[in-house]
Structure 1
Amino acid sequence: MHLAVLLFALALSVVTFALDNGLMRTPPMGWLAWERYRCDIDCTNDPKNCISENLFIDMADRLSEDGWRELGYVYVNIDDCWSSKKRDEEGRLQPDPKRFPGGIPKLARYMHDRGLKLGIYGDMGTYTCGGYPGTTLDKIEIDAQTFADWGVDMFKFDGCYSNASEQEQGYPLMSKALNATGRPIGYSCSWPAYQGGLPPKVNYSQLGEICNLWRNYGDIEDSWDSVLNIIDWFFENQDVLSAAAGPGRWNDPDMLVIGDFGLSMDQSRAQMSLWAIMAAPLFMSNDLRTISSGARSILQNKMVISINQDPLGIQGRRILKEKSGIEVFWRPLSDNASALVFFSRRHDMPYRYQTSLKKLSYPSGSYTIFDVFTGKTTALKDSTDFVVSVNPTGVVMWYVSAPAKMNLRQFYRGGRLLGSYHDDENGIPRVFL
């Protein structure tokens, strides 16, 4: 099927509804502890890196003082291993008193005073994945109210030590309980990751009604193989996953590991670019106190962030997979613009890839091309062949303006403008949502 026809059909067929809490209308951004710090609780021998209030205060300071907050990185998210091994006398979760002597409310106030938000972790089971108290079905309401009382802004609900039946009950119940507190709390569900990530076991229409974001797949590791594995799974299943995403409901391919130890600069640009194409949440898991200037420049790239945060919230797609090892990804953006990523799976030399916008199903017209990582701007006609040189395991990412001249028609569903399109010389609708 012609790419434009396929996209047109998908656009008309998608009817999904977001969790009715008004939150995360664009993918959430911030910092998350897990990949970089895991379950390090040895504050005696590793005080700078252990899971403690000091670690999260340090990261909050960096977000608020080093230019991250202004770009949208506002969540500071505690992951596993923060709590005591036992609940308190009233059955409530409580933080480890030695590592969090001020309690979670103190941390929440610290974040809020700096224009940031606090996220916290729990598990839909008898224990968390790290062996701390979980949230069984009878504890859902008290835990939701506890988080609200503490001033928490986001809740990640994992699924270790639970079965499919408990998850089927627990994830919707937690959504209801969080909303019932009256506090706006973004809700991250790990439910699909525990059910294989795909229909029929995973009902993405239901997920969009109860969760703001969800983990579809396994945990990311600090390695290129792990990043590539996630990329492959998401784009091999893009027909299902793209239809599920939109404002207030996001597929989550897991954390950005840019700035850690496993990725080169080219691979770091690749992760950032493809997470932006996927409209993925941007949660860094790194040490913002010591991050390199190269990693910082990638994570703080304003154009990549603006593409990720595009208000239409349409998840992009892989449109070409060449025998040469070059793959092309495309995402429609506001104002009839789009993003293109040329990605190389090669490991030898930079590859000179030749194509044209017309070959990539762009309609006739002249375009302005902005290279996201070099900052160069060029004019390009749809019929003009061009060559991009893509480094091994690297990317070239473009922001492509709307064509200078194009007569558009608009299509609606239920009174809502879904997008604009025009017919080419063969009468085929080409979509610019």
Structure 2
Amino acid sequence: MKPILRALALLLLASPVLPAQAQKLAATPPMGWNSWNYFAGRVTDKDIRDTADLLVSTGMRDAGYIYVNIDDTWEGERDAQGIIHTNKKFPDMKALSDYVHSKGLKLGIYSSPGAQTCAHYAGSLDHEQQDAQTYADWGIDYLKYDLCGFREKQKAEAPNDLAKQNKMMRDAYMLMHQAILKTGRPMVYSLCQYGFDAVWDWGPEVGANSWRTTGDINATYDRMIVIGLNQAGLGKFAGPGHWNDPDMLEVGNGKLTMDENRFHMTLWAMLASPLLAGNDLTKMTPEVASILMNKQVVAIDQDPLGHQAERVYAEGPIEFWSRPLADGSTALAIFNTGEDPSDLRNIPLPLKQLGFNKAPKAHDLWLDKSVTLDAAYKPTLPRHSTILLKLTK
């Protein structure tokens, strides 16, 4: 499609985004599983069917993990009419979609506004409406739309003009949003563009239900905390229907310790982040399952008020983050980001900053027990560990 025709298409399709629609579609942060962190380019139809089965049998579906998202490398060739087809790893996407739906789950898919995806498979450039309609016909419920394949076009057409590159990016995301709307099928629209151009400022304008705020995560503690703690200050941009996304969960992957897995899960829950697991469910240990499916921690992430946490106090390696909850209580997370055990003997809880003139009732969500926040409450935090409290006046 020539640039002038693309611009005309944007004009003709443009219509105001209805906040109520977005809020209903992703009223709380989406939860599910994505294929990339474990399978990467190896993912197949069988892997997705097996994952759907395991989301049910492990209890993850009932805990809220309802999206089964196929990442890159499912794409095949386009036919003479330009319609995208799957490759041999996915012989029948509609049948796969029907299978996933039969399990009480939803199916997600992946593409790029570029001519190619990150893994150099067919992207959606100049085929946005065709692809959106194909996804709708297959019964797709979630689209991850990854910028990386579009970067070449941006640099080729505006090599030294960042403002023009950013406008091209926004227009590309708007074009697919309008194409999805035209199909009439609700799809969660997830922007994967690494936080470029302060996406939190304009993501809702292009219909996004979530937007990546950072580069890619990996299964290391250092990368996880860099991404997670850098979300400070972005809370005002998140809320029902539109969420900051610090990338998928690595809980259960790599060499993360159980303390680090709990740290990761706590921080993402406090950030009202989409919770997209990325572990091998066939090898999920009871310890990892207990972290991903801790009902009280998941409830913090899914709190309907939708307020993302912010840092309220930090001293040395100890950080305090809080978020208000819909029932009038407050979630308070305490993190030890350092390499040594640390205690709270000389670091008072920031209760006055949170509006408590006297010690509130407190429940430790990981230990599932009530605690008394008096002078005797001076717990020691191991390295890379966390405490998550629910505070009630």
TM-score (norm 2): 0.87
**One-letter amino acid of the structure 2 residue matched with residue 255 of structure 1:** M
Give the superposition deviation at 1:203.
5.8
Q: Is the 8 A contact 2:200 2:237 kept in 1?
A: no
1:111 aligns to 2:111 (yes or no): no
- Choose from 75, 87, 91 the match for 1:83: 75
Give the superposition deviation at 1:265.
0.6
TM-score (norm 1): 0.80
1:349 aligns to 2:351 (yes or no): no
Q: Is the 8 A contact 2:170 2:206 kept in 1?
A: no
Q: Is the 8 A contact 2:200 2:211 kept in 1?
A: no
Match of 1:56 in 2: 48
Q: Tell me, what secondary structure is at the counterpart of 2:171?
A: helix
Quote the Cα distance in structure 1 between the aligned partners of 2:292 and 2:133: 34
Quote the Cα distance in structure 2 between the aligned partners of 1:187 and 1:345: 33
CA displacement 1:139-171 (0-9 Å, x = unmatched)? 111111110000000001001232224322110
Quote the Cα distance in structure 1 between the aligned partners of 2:94 and 2:376: 58
Q: Is the 8 A contact 1:344 1:351 kept in 2?
A: no
Match of 1:133 in 2: 122
1:100 aligns to 2:57 (yes or no): no
1:71 aligns to 2:60 (yes or no): no
How many correspondences in the alignment?
A: 361
Quote the Cα distance in structure 1 between the aligned partners of 2:286 and 2:124: 40
Match of 1:151 in 2: 139
Give the superposition deviation at 1:302.
0.4
Quote the Cα distance in structure 2 between the aligned partners of 1:208 and 1:311: 22
- Choose from 89, 103, 123 the match for 2:112: 123
**One-letter amino acid of the structure 2 residue matched with residue 80 of structure 1:** D
- Choose from 277, 284, 287 the match for 2:277: 284
CA displacement 1:339-383 (0-9 Å, x = unmatched)? 1111001212243454145344332245221111111113447xx
Quote the Cα distance in structure 2 between the aligned partners of 1:277 and 1:176: 32
Question: What percentage of aligned pairs have identical amino acids?
Answer: 37
Match of 1:427 in 2: none
Match of 2:230 in 1: 233
Quote the Cα distance in structure 1 between the aligned partners of 2:203 and 2:289: 37
Q: Is the 8 A contact 1:17 1:205 kept in 2?
A: no
Q: Tell me, what secondary structure is at the counterpart of 2:65?
A: coil
Quote the Cα distance in structure 1 between the aligned partners of 2:321 and 2:307: 13
**RMSD of the TM alignment (CA)?**
1.9
Q: Is the 8 A contact 1:355 1:385 kept in 2?
A: no
Unaligned runs of 5+ in 2: 1-16, 155-164
CA displacement 1:242-290 (0-9 Å, x = unmatched)? 1110000000001111111231111100010010110000000010111
Quote the Cα distance in structure 1 between the aligned partners of 2:270 and 2:216: 20
**One-letter amino acid of the structure 2 residue matched with residue 326 of structure 1:** I
Give the superposition deviation at 1:38.
1.2
Match of 1:10 in 2: none
Give the superposition deviation at 1:113.
0.7
Higher helix share: 2
Give the superposition deviation at 1:210.
1.1
